Chain A
Amino acid sequence: MPLLLPGDPVIAPASQKKQQLKLGPGLTHTPPDNIVAHKAGELIIDTRKNVIWVEGNGRRYTPTHADPIIVTVLRGSADAYICAIPSSSSPAPSSVQATLPHLAFPNATKKTRPILAPGAVVYARVSLANKHMDPELECFDAESGKAMGFGELKGGMVFSVSLGMARRLLGDGNRMRGVWKREQKTARKEREEAGMTDAGDAEKEEEWEGTGAEVLEELGRLISFECAVGRNGKVWVEAEDVKSTLMVGRCLAAAESLGAEETKDMVRREVRALQG
């Protein structure tokens, strides 16, 4: 995938279907058809969905619609809880404030509402995000009306990871790999149809083995624990005892810049050290 620096122009891929091109994060469109990257990263092209975006990494989270995030309750008000969206571990005050209405819980009515004390950790979804307004959250799935895993997170600990890492733990890395493999396949087919030899090109192909979520897969295979990943770069973990919880947190931090195999080795080492 090509590397982009801010200011680099991007040529939109030609799509076979008449589907509107969607631009993801990191790209700015200036009419009529100039697309320019505004941050550094790798360009990911999904021709099937006709979507392009810049995949990079960051630490400060900007609320985006439908993202699952981990928030802390600051205080209650008449009809909503005011929550802080923590992001990054920088000492500068980060909290973007969001409202979590009392009615945004499963089976909530005006009479029965969930009770959250200030400081409670909540797994919620962003239901309204707009750069001009404070974000709004919800703790249920609007279609089914069920909790779908959202709600207060009792016990456990919250660890910080980078935003890219959080996305990978939620399966974005695997999806991106799928997109990449598909693109490679079509490119290969096109080359074959054009009658070009494949020998040189095969060597040139990059390797993409990891999904970025190996740390959780490997840990899940070896020990039992619960975890919730927020797209704001927070991971809530609860294991049998504090020792194991901390070990999971350590593994998450260490996996940040490791490849797939290295991650697996690291996790196995940590688990062995824990179990003695």
Chain B
Amino acid sequence: MTISAVLAPLPRADGSATFKSGLTTVIASVSGPMEVRAREELPDKAFIEVIVRPACGVGSTRERALEARLLSAISPVIIRSHHPRMCIQINIQLVEAEDHSDTTAILPAVINATMLALVDAGTPVNGILVSTLVETEGGRHVLAFEKGRCVLAESQGEFEMEELEQAVKEGGRRCTIEKDEEMMETDEQTVGMAIREAIEKKVKMDMRWRE
């Protein structure tokens, strides 16, 4: 499965990212911190608004479900107290997917694209959340890791506890963003490495004026 990530594909957004994983392509953009609508203003922290748009047609329950899951995954990572009474708006545009009704397969790409867009925007975050889909014999698991800890697990299907444990182990390996000697030897491209490379490339581009 080929994974590719690009930061700042949208020149007018504060932060944006494209994330491709296999047949799934997602574009995320982040605006903010900006003014918030009065009824959504929180006195001590930033309000986070998530909008998911499908590849075709108008959004429905499926997109709302994705929004809710993305919000619960991403909001603990953002340091919201840095921008009280402000709004951080996250826009997700699904571009391509193998099966558009399969939100479990789309969710990891959505989380990764959002995380990269947040980094591009310079939004204060606690760490980098990396997500992947692990398939086991009886189930499919969306797992997200931050600093090596599993912080999100959304599973589907019938499976044993050991299967989940194994999935978490496999997911942790794929999601690590730390450079590892062992990993360098194998040619396998992991999600974590793709994300690290994309961010490194962006910072390098930002510092090109030094040359």
Q: Which residues of A contact B (CB under 8 A)?
A: 3, 5-7, 26, 28, 36, 38-42, 55-60, 62, 88-96, 131-132, 164, 168, 173, 177, 207-212, 255, 257-261, 263
Contact = CB atoms under 8 A, between A and B. Distances in A.
Give 4 nearest A-B pairs by CB, closest first: A7-B127, A259-B211, A58-B122, A212-B209
Contacts of B125: 6-7, 38-39
B39 interface: no
Contacts of A57: 122, 206
Interface of B: 11-15, 31-35, 79, 82-85, 89, 119, 121-128, 146-147, 177, 196, 199-200, 202-203, 205-211
Nearest to A255: B209
With a 10 A CB-CB cut-off, give which of B11, B82, B127 has the most chain A CB atoms: B127
Nearest to A59: B14
Contact of A40 (B34, B35, B203, B209): B203
Contacts of B199: 5, 40
B30 to A, nearest CB: 9
A259 B211 CA distance: 5
Given A5-B177, A56-B122, A41 B203 contact: yes
A184 B171 CA distance: 41
10 contacts: A5-B119, A6-B119, A28-B79, A36-B126, A38-B126, A41-B203, A132-B84, A209-B210, A210-B210, A212-B210
A26 B121 CA distance: 12
Nearest to B199: A40
A26 B125 CA distance: 10
B14 A6 contact: no
A93 B31 CA distance: 9
A168 B147 CA distance: 33
B209 A258 contact: yes
Contacts of B14: 58-60, 88, 90, 92
Given A5-B196, A58-B14, A257 B205 contact: yes
B200 A207 contact: no
A188 B85 CA distance: 48
A40 B127 CA distance: 10
Contact of B31 (A90, A96, A212, A258): A90
B209 A91 contact: no
Contacts of A211: 209
Nearest to B195: A5
Contact of A209 (B11, B33, B83, B211): B211
A55 B121 CA distance: 13
Contacts of A39: 119, 122-125
A56 B211 contact: no
A255 B206 CA distance: 11
Contacts of B128: 5-7
B203 A93 contact: no
Contacts of A258: 208-209
Contact of B211 (A36, A58, A96, A207): A207
Contacts of A208: 210
A258 B205 CA distance: 9
Nearest to A25: B122
B209 A260 contact: yes
Contacts of A38: 79, 82, 124-126
B109 to A, nearest CB: 20
A39 B77 CA distance: 12
A92 B31 contact: yes
Contact of B121 (A59, A93, A212, A263): A59
B85 A132 contact: yes
Contact of A58 (B12, B85, B121, B200): B121
Contacts of A55: 207
A259 to B, nearest CB: 3
A92 B34 contact: yes
Contact of B209 (A6, A42, A56, A173): A173
A241 to B, nearest CB: 28
B35 A95 contact: yes
